[in-house]
Amino acid sequence: MLAAAVLTAGTALLGTPAVNAAPAQPERVTKGEDPANGPERNEIAATDTATGRSGLRAFGENKVTKKDGYPRQTQLRVYPEDPSDSSIKLGLAPYHSIAPKLNEIQQRSDRVSVEVVGQSGLGRDLYLVTLTAPERAHETRQQDAWREEIENNPRSAARDNRLRREYKAPVWINGNIHGDEYEGTDGALRMIDYLATTGDRKALDLLKTHRVYFNVTANPDGRVTGVRPNANNFDLNRDFVTSSQPEGRAMRDIAIRTQPVAMLDEHGYVGGTLIEPTGPPHGQNYDFDLFIKHGYANGLKMEQGVKALGHAEAQNVQIPFRDYPVGEWDGWAPVFTAQYAMFHGAVSYTIEIPLQVNRGAYQSLPVSELRRRSAINTDVVESTIRSTLDYVSANRSDLVANQIEIFRRGAAGEALRPIPDGFVPGFGPEDRYSTKFPRAYVIPAGGTQRSGSAAARLVDHLVAHDVKVTRAERAFQLNGRGYPAGSYVVDMHQPKRALANVMLEQGGDVSERAPLMYDISGWSHRLLWGASVDVAVSGDLRVQGKPVVAASPTGGVDAAPGKDLTLTVRDGKDASAVNDLLGRGIELRRRADGSIIVPAAARVDAIQVADRHGVRFGLAAAGEPGSPLRRLTIAAAVGPDELFALRDMGFDVRPVSTTVLNNGFDLSRVDVLFASSGLSFTGLNPAAKTALQAFLAKGGVVTRGATGSAFNSQAGLLPVKAVQGKGDANGVVTVTNNAAGVIGAEALPNSFIYSPQWFTEIGAGVSVEQRYGNGNPLASGHWTSNEDGSGGPTAAGGQAAVVSGTDESGARVVLFGTEPMFRAHPKGLYSQVANAIYWSATR
C-alpha cells in the first residue's frame, strides 16, 4: 500500500496522559460476604449515611425504569481477596479490587454509573461503567429516543437538527477479552477515575456531548487465572456471531444497547503497538467507505498519541492497513469484537499493546521488569482511549452522520458503493470487497422446513443480534415460491442488513485473493445451522406479519395416546431430547435407519421433553423393534469446543487423555471413546493398552482429525489411509451423504473444515458415509494447495470425508475428516456426531 499521509498533531481535548506512571497497585479491600451466601442481589440499598447520597442499588441490582436518568449507580458486591490472582504479580488490579474501586468512585462522582451486565462462566460479575454528564429522566428518555431514531428511522434522524446538536455520541471501550492480556482493564480504570473526577473544562464538555462506556474486564475468569480463554476454554474473540459464551453474549448486548460510533478492543502483545484498521481482505458486507475514512484517520491519531508518550518500546507502531501484506492481519471474519461492532455502526479497532507480560515472560522475567512493562502498556492503553475520545469529540457530528448513513443505506436496500483507488491514502484494488444483498431470506414453516427446532434457534439468534425478523400471519408468494403462514422473513431492507447477511449468506472464497488468512474465513448460519433457509434474490416482498420477539414454540407430540413415538435425530436439539429421555430412565430403541423409538408408556415424559427442547415426536411406524439404547457415557479426548458441544447435547462426558488412561482410567464404565485431541495409542503404557483392547470388545469409537486418524491407524481399527489437507484450510464445503448412512439420512449438504482430512485406500467392510463435493468443494473460506501441489481442495473433491466400519474386535468405528463441532458454531452438524455415537454404541 502507499505510504500514509501524516496528520499534524493537535491539542488533545483531554489533556496529556500520565507518562511513566507508577504501576497500579492492588487496592486493600475488606473481605466481603461470600456472594453465594450473602444478601439477596435485588436488595435495595438504604441512603448512605456518610455521604447523604441515596439511590445506590445494592449487590448488582440493575432494574432500570423509564424514570431513571444518569447516574445509575449500583453498590457492587465485593468478592473475597484472592492472593493468587495473576494480575497482582504485574502490579495491576486484581479482579477483587475492581468492585471496591468502582463503589468508591460512584460515591464521589455524579458522572459515573456502574451496572452489572452479566456473569462470567464462573459467576463473576461483568461491569459496564458509563461516564457522562448527569441527565434528568426526561433527558435520558430523549437520548434513548434519538438512539432508536438513528437505527430505525435514519432518514428522519438525518434531518433532525436537534439530534445533530444534542445527541450524546457513544464510545465503547472493551478491555481484557483475553484474560492474560491484562492492561486494557487498568487503562480503563485510570480513564474512569480521570473522567469521573477531573475539573478539566474540555473533559467536562466531552461528557456533556458523549457517553463513554467501559466494559472493564470482559473475561474476569481468565484474568484471575492468567490464561487467554474463559472458564469454558473458549477464545471470546472468536465467538461473536456464534454467541456460545455468557461473556460474549454480554458484549453483544453492550454493542446493541450502546450503539457506539467508535469502539476500542484492547489486546496485547505483538512485539509492537498495533492499531487497526486491518489490511485486506475486508469484510464484504461493510459499507467500507463509511468506515475507512474515519478508521484510518483516527488510527493515525492514535499512533501520534502513543509515540508522544516517549516510551522507546512503544515507538514501533503498526497500522495493518498501511504496513501489513494482504491477509496477515485481515478484517474478514465477523467473529472478532472490532469486526462485529462495525455491523452496529461503530468505527472500531483492535489495539495490541507492545510489551509481553504473559505466558513465558510472566514465568521467567523478574517482577520488577514485568511491572515496568505493564506500566508502559497501561500508558499505551490510556493513550489510545484519550486519542479516540479526542478524535470523536472533534468529529462528533460527522461520526453520528456516518452511523445514520450506514443504517439509512441498509433500510433503503441500497447497493454497496464502489470505492475508488486513493479514497484514503493507500486504498487500492486489494482492498475492494463487496457483495450483493438479496431481497430477503425466508425461513419456511411447514413441510419444507428441515428442522423446526433449528429454525426457531436461528430466528431467536438473529433477533438477539438486533436483526429484524417478521413472522407471516398469512400465506404469501415471493420470487415464485409459496410460503405458509408462520414462515419467518428477514427483509434485507433493514438498518443492520449487513449483519443479517454476514450470518446468512454463503460467504466468499478468498483463496485466490489472499495468500494466507489470520483466522477462519468461512461460516454460514444458513448452511451450517440446520434450518431450511431460502434466498429470495429479488421479488416484490408483500408479507402481512408481525415483528418477532421470540420464535414460536416448536415442540409437540404428533401421535395419539397409547401409540409408540419416534424421533429422527436431524439436529443437536433432537440428540438433547434423546439424552434427556435416557437420563430419565426411559427405555428407548434405535432402528437401523437411525430413528429413535419411544414407548407409548413414556408419553408424559416425551411431552415434557418436546416442550423443553422444541422437538416433535411423530407416530412410530410398524417395523423392526430396533436395538436397545441406554444412557451413554463417553470418554472424550477432545478440544474444549467439542467438549462443550457434546455436553450441550446432553451426553455424559468424561474428559480423558493419554496421561489419564495411563493413570488407570476405568474404561469398563464407558460406552464410546471419542478421540480428536490429546490421545496417542503409541503413548499408552501396557496396562492402558490392555484396558483399551478390553473396551474395544464392547464399546465404540468416534474420531476426528489428525489425532483421530493416527489413533485409528496405530490401534489397527479401520483399514483406511488418512490424507491430510492444507493445515490452514478452513471454511464451508459441499458434501454428499450416504442416504442410508450412519451419520443420518438427513445430514446437511454442507459441512465445515479446518485442516481437513479425507480417506483413501478404503478396505473391506468400511462404508463411506460422506464425500467432499466433486471438483472444488469449497463454498466459502480459504483453501489452497501446499507448495508441492498436495492438500488442496481439488485433491479432496469426491473423496471420503467420513467413514464407518467394524474392527476385528467388533467395535463400531466412525472417522470424521471434517470439523462438525468447531467452536460450537456449525450447530446443524451436531446431529452427525450424535448419530455416529448412537450407532457406535449399538451392538
DSSP output for 549-610:
SSPPP--EE-S-TTS-EEE---SHHHHHHHHHHHHTT--EEE-TTS-EEE-GGGHHHHHHHH
Closest C-alpha to 722, from 734, 730, 714, 733: 714
pLDDT attached to residue 29: 30
Report the SS3 class of residue 722: strand
Q: What does the pLDDT look like over 782-794, one tens digit per residue?
A: 999 999 999 999 9
Instruction: Report the mean per-residue pLDDT for the chain.
Output: 93
How remote is the C-alpha of 245 from its chain's centroid? Answer: 7
pLDDT attached to residue 764: 96
Residue by residue, DSSP assigns 780-814 as EEE----TTS-S-HHHHTTSEEEEEEE-TTS-EEE
Cell numbers describing residue 767: 462404508
Strands 565-567 and 627-629 come out as unpaired
The answer to whether the CB of 337 falls within 8 A of the CB of 237 is: yes
- The number of residues in the chain equals 843
Cell numbers describing residue 522: 468461512
Residue 739 pLDDT level (bands cut at 50, 70, 90):
confident
Strands 596-598 and 476-478 come out as unpaired
The answer to whether the CB of 17 falls within 8 A of the CB of 198 is: no
Q: How far is it, in rounded angstroms, from Cα 98 to Cα 102?
A: 6
Cell numbers describing residue 819: 470439523
pLDDT attached to residue 745: 81
pLDDT attached to residue 14: 65
Helices and strands (H, E) in the chain, number of each type? 25, 37
CB neighbour list of residue 540: distance below 8 Å, 6 or more residues apart: 478
Overall average pLDDT of the 160-169 stretch: 98
Convert 603-626 to b/e letters by CB count within 10 Å (16 or more is b).
bebbeebbeebbbbbeebeeeeeb
Overall average pLDDT of the 419-441 stretch: 97
Q: CATH classification of 556-629 is 3.80.10, yes or no?
A: no
- pLDDT of 227 higher than 90: yes
Q: What does the pLDDT look like over 607-634, one tens digit per residue?
A: 999 999 999 999 999 999 999 999 999 9
The residue extents of the domains of the chain are 57-412, 440-547, 556-629, 633-841
Report the SS3 class of residue 114: strand
| Fold match between domain 57-412 and domain 633-841 | no
Q: What does the pLDDT look like over 656-669, one tens digit per residue?
A: 999 999 999 999 99
Overall average pLDDT of the 758-771 stretch: 98
Cell numbers describing residue 659: 496421561
- C-alpha dihedral sign at 90, 92, 95, 97: positive
Residue in the block written with cell 458454531: 825
The answer to whether the CB of 410 falls within 8 A of the CB of 498 is: yes
Q: Which CATH architecture has domain 633-841?
A: 3-Layer(aba) Sandwich (3.40)
Residue 800 pLDDT level (bands cut at 50, 70, 90):
very high
Query: What distances in angstroms separate CA 582 from CA 715, 765, 770, one per listed residue?
Result: 31, 31, 28
pLDDT attached to residue 34: 31
pLDDT attached to residue 58: 56
Residue 528 pLDDT level (bands cut at 50, 70, 90):
very high
Cell numbers describing residue 459: 430466528
CB neighbour list of residue 794: distance below 8 Å, 6 or more residues apart: 775, 776
DSSP secondary structure code for residue 122 in this structure: T
Overall average pLDDT of the 5-30 stretch: 40
Closest C-alpha to 262, from 240, 219, 295: 295
- pLDDT of 71 higher than 60: yes
Overall average pLDDT of the 110-120 stretch: 98
Q: CATH classification of 57-412 is 3.40.630.10, yes or no?
A: yes
Strands 766-772 and 730-737 come out as antiparallel
Overall average pLDDT of the 449-469 stretch: 98
DSSP secondary structure code for residue 442 in this structure: E
- pLDDT of 592 higher than 90: yes
Q: How far is it, in rounded angstroms, from Cα 645 to Cα 830?
A: 8
The answer to whether the CB of 472 falls within 8 A of the CB of 443 is: no
Q: What does the pLDDT look like over 694-726, one tens digit per residue?
A: 999 999 999 999 999 999 999 999 999 999 999
pLDDT attached to residue 693: 96
Largest CA distance in the chain: 83
Residue 49 pLDDT level (bands cut at 50, 70, 90):
very low
pLDDT attached to residue 740: 85
- pLDDT of 839 higher than 70: yes
Question: Which of 2-11, 112-121, 382-391, 627-636 is predicted least confidently?
Answer: 2-11
pLDDT attached to residue 12: 57
How is the beta sheet containing 545-547 ordered, strand by strand? 534-536, 440-443, 488-491, 470-472, 545-547
Catalytic residue among 115, 266, 352, 819: 352
- 104 counts as catalytic: no
pLDDT attached to residue 570: 97
How remote is the C-alpha of 747 from its chain's centroid? Answer: 24
Convert 254-280 to b/e letters by CB count within 10 Å (16 or more is b).
bbebbbbbbbbbbbbbeebbbbbbbbb
Burial label for 560, CB within 10 Å (0-12, 13-18, 19+), is exposed
